[in-house]
Structure 1
Amino acid sequence: MKKTTRNIGFAMIAATMIAGCNPLEFDDIQDPNNPSIGSIANNASSEQIQFLITGLESRHRGYVTNISQAWNTFGREIWYLNASDPRFQTDWLGQNGRVPDRSYFGFGNTGGGSWATPYQSIKQADVLQLAAENTVNITDAQKSAVIGFAKTIQGYQFMIPANFVYQNGIRMDVTDPLNPGPFVSYEQALDQINTILDEGFQAFSSAGSGDFPFRLTSGFNGFNTIAGLQQVNRAIAARLNAYREDWQGVLTALNGSFMDLNGNLNAGPAHPYGAAPDIFNPLFYLPNAAVNTIIVVHPSVLDDATPGDLRVQSKFLERTNPVTVTTDAGALVGTHQDARWSNNTVPIPFIRNEELILLKAEAHANLNQADDAVEAINIIRNAAGIGPYTGATSTSALIDEILYQRRYSLWAEPWGHRWIDARRYDRLSDIPTSYDGGAIFTQFPHPQAELSWDEYVGN
């Protein structure tokens, strides 16, 4: 474990070194201790392939802090209270008429974790595929395994900018950083992401069986076989197909995933964290610490909770002293903090069995298969200690129930589920703003850096 943590820490440092100002471009740095692009483009060694895989895992978790703080604020799952910089409240909550623009705080000039960081992961995966395809130092089966892993991570990462700018569209063709492809619509992007994930799954199918031929971090414990990674790929595809409203596609993907109706709801791959040279879990805050910068539970989540819900008891810690930050719209008071992480090295799951079961319920509801939907819903309700579902079984009523359960089961996970869920069901107006006097955003424009890049290339 210590060796794995040290490796990902070193990979993170080195990955940062090879990223230039353009997030789509990797510099050809001649570093005797780490592989440069030139050294791995032709006949990379097995050790260099390993380094790139570990580096990809490091980049894969780069979005966590920004997405968890910002997107979960947009969906009013949390407030990210920061007394040192009021923009985390005023701008992210849309107070005083603030609306997203190309230079919006936290996103506009660099794109942050919602734009540049995912594309850096995507490019890291491109480099990994290039290295695997152009070497004789690994077998064809090993090449297929590496390509399957790279495409699986790419599929996950492309969904981040796609959901950030939504109908403004994203670039999917970024193979050549000096000549990226055009923006494509949200729907086209999702279709192309589906193709990437399918290609990754098929690559795994050509990789034989048994263990993945290279080391993965502890975040993939239980999934570090070819079959296990195929299950992760299909789990990500199930989430994607829900966004595509391909409900049968959701069920098909779930059948190949690690979904287990009788299994541990927390089972799934995760982002690992550790001590230096690695980084700590960015969502951990010391219980009841005397701080004024912290993620707190949004008051509406507490107000709308079902009495006796075990998720509320396990995820939310009522603070001895609430955190208060004053804004132009009044005081924001955080009475509860995140209690999911016991310490600062606990891994953060990036897709879990609980989400998969809820996706199954959602797919069945949209296919008018009420009995199957209720069966899946009751797995979640019974685990939460609130008893079986007894409401109406119309599609509309079931979707109401499923979205409510997703709100508590997937609370503040590093994805912004509620913001995306409300948008895809045209329910953004259901997200309350009365607690903070703000506004709910639908989407963001492309960051200014993206347009500046177009102007630079055009000249």
Structure 2
Amino acid sequence: MHKRTLALLVGLGIAGTACKDSTSVPDLNNISAETALANGLTPTVLQLLATGLVNASRSELDGRYLVFTETMARDFYRLDNAENRYITELIGTAPADYSAFTGGGAFTNMYVTVRSGNTILNNLASATFLSPAEVSATKGFVQTMKALSYYRVLETRDTLGIAFDVNHPVNDPPAQFECKPNVLAEISALLDSANTNLVAAGAAAFPFALPSGFSGFNTPATFAKFNRGLKGKVEVYRALPQGNRTKATGTAGFNAAIAAINASFASPSAPMNLGPKYTYSTASGDQTNPLADANIFLNPFVGDSIQAGDKRAAKIFPVTPKTLSNVTGRYKGTMTDPSGALTQPIPILSNAELLLLRAQAEIGLGQFAAATADINAVRTADGGLTPYLDFVDAASAIKAVLYEKRYSLLGQSAQRLVDLREYGLLNASAGPGRSNGDIFQSVLPIPKSQFDTRNVTTITPACP
């Protein structure tokens, strides 16, 4: 069975025990959840569901989540003569259309992953072949992947809120949208619950195999380090006040972020690209890297602003300029060049990102010497640049950490959009937009389908 088919099946809450090529099984394109799980959660079905969960998570990093958010963050331009809305609706003079592929994008895929995870959790009681430790390991893995998906959809909607309590039958009323601070708190709690389960698994192995991109993070004990890294990331953004109004966790949140990152795989002496990754291939039925797209250019500011001698300039190269919808692309990146990017992995969370997140927490606490050390660890290893002297003020330190994040994490996630938004820096200083006006859109709208499902014209997130 092709991985794409499996991801779709799992996203609908269904899966099978063998591939369609076998003449002894039904057509898996039409199999029901009841048929797949008729005999409970067997070892074969659990493996298929776990593989499908990871594949669904990988599918979140499509041409919408990555390209839309990196365009809004002034890193990318997708200049497609056949589709100018990548520019006009993302860095235009009006918000993205909530009924279009732009405004409605980077949303459904994340909930497909959450539903995939819930399918596993809801059927664990039938997995009589699992030991208590293996049950804990499975819960911890699934809960962590769900938390990652919730966080990604929140990255794109921010203060508009998202639906979190979605583990209900499909015929139940739609889940209520909740405000950003509450959702961040729920994601944080979900990660803690996941970590408790991973620790409870002890020395047990996962009762399923993970893809090669999880090498080094494919046991409950090592995967817990990824969990703690993700927890640290969430805590940094819980602590920052922008968009969290009176619910920012502040000092306590920054301390929680540092504690979590210290329990992760973050290390200034480890390779900066250490961490789990999504892998891609050109094999039949598999997925190629979604950024391998000849229409993707870099925002000129990315190429013009890199510091002299920065080794990361090797990822950026000049091209014949192309202009569309009042923007001009003059650079491209190796991460989008189809000649080499088709099978290039995309990090889920890297050592470099964790060190820079810890620096952000340290800046929030006024611990400038510690922040400088973490920034310099990335700056010298990834960039080959002269280390900074200790910072003495937050503004300079934030500027430095955002520079390192831009060039070390380019094209990997929505992190730059989130940072610019959280620090109130999503403006002309971030990079050029359209020459005829730019509203510096910071979020994608709630998709029209969510209003239609609820039969409402407005959605106000609950924020008790």
User: Does 239-248 or 343-352 show the bigger shift?
Assistant: 343-352
**Residue 369 (structure 1) aligned to one of 361, 367, 376:** 367
How many residue pairs get aligned? The number is 424
Shift of 1:64: 1.0
| CA gap 1:18/1:213 in 2 versus in 1, 3 angstroms | closer
Could you tell me which residue of structure 2 aligns to residue 441 of structure 1?
A: 441
Tell me if the contact between 2:212 and 2:279 (Cα under 8 Å) persists in the aligned partners: yes
Aligned: 1:158 with 2:150? yes
> What pairs up with 1:38-437 in 2 under 5 angstroms?
38=34, 39-40=36-37, 43-65=40-62, 66-94=64-92, 97-103=93-99, 105-108=100-103, 111-112=104-105, 114-176=106-168, 177-179=170-172, 180-245=174-239, 246-274=253-281, 275-285=283-293, 293-313=294-314, 315-319=315-319, 322-327=320-325, 329=326, 332-339=328-335, 342-383=340-381, 384-390=383-389, 392-413=391-412, 415-429=413-427, 430-433=429-432, 436-437=435-436
SS in 2 for 1:422: helix
| CA gap 1:44/1:27 in 2 versus in 1, 3 angstroms | closer
Shift of 1:166: 1.1
User: Does 194-203 or 132-141 show the bigger shift?
Assistant: 132-141
CA distance in 1, matches of 2:396, 2:86: 35
Shift of 1:18: 5.7
SS in 2 for 1:61: helix
CA distance in 2, matches of 1:272, 1:349: 9
Shift of 1:436: 4.4
Tell me if the contact between 2:205 and 2:219 (Cα under 8 Å) persists in the aligned partners: yes
Tell me if the contact between 1:93 and 1:436 (Cα under 8 Å) persists in the aligned partners: no
Could you tell me which residue of structure 1 aligns to residue 250 of structure 2?
A: none
Q: Which amino acid aligns with 1:452?
A: D
| CA gap 1:60/1:46 in 2 versus in 1, 3 angstroms | same
Identity across matched positions, percent: 27
Q: Which amino acid aligns with 1:53?
A: A
CA distance in 2, matches of 1:340, 1:212: 34
Tell me if the contact between 1:332 and 1:436 (Cα under 8 Å) persists in the aligned partners: no
Shift of 1:236: 0.9
| CA gap 1:119/1:387 in 2 versus in 1, 3 angstroms | same
Shift of 1:17: 4.1
Structure 1 unaligned spans of 5+:
1-8, 20-24, 286-292
Tell me if the contact between 1:311 and 1:408 (Cα under 8 Å) persists in the aligned partners: yes
| CA gap 1:160/1:343 in 2 versus in 1, 3 angstroms | closer
Tell me if the contact between 1:295 and 1:338 (Cα under 8 Å) persists in the aligned partners: no
CA distance in 2, matches of 1:434, 1:441: 11
CA distance in 2, matches of 1:451, 1:273: 35
Shift of 1:115: 0.7
| CA gap 1:190/1:434 in 2 versus in 1, 3 angstroms | closer
SS in 1 for 2:296: strand
Q: TM-score, normalised by structure 1?
A: 0.87
Q: TM-score, normalised by structure 2?
A: 0.86
| CA gap 1:434/1:36 in 2 versus in 1, 3 angstroms | closer
User: Does 207-216 or 72-81 show the bigger shift?
Assistant: 207-216
Q: Which amino acid aligns with 1:241?
A: E
RMSD, matched Cα = 2.3
Shift of 1:33: 6.3
| CA gap 1:41/1:233 in 2 versus in 1, 3 angstroms | farther
CA distance in 1, matches of 2:390, 2:190: 39
SS in 2 for 1:79: strand
CA distance in 2, matches of 1:359, 1:60: 22
| 1:351-406 deviation digits (Å, cap 9, x = unpaired) | 10000111111111111111111111111221212201136411232122212221
Shift of 1:98: 2.4
Q: Which amino acid aligns with 1:426?
A: G
Shift of 1:63: 1.7
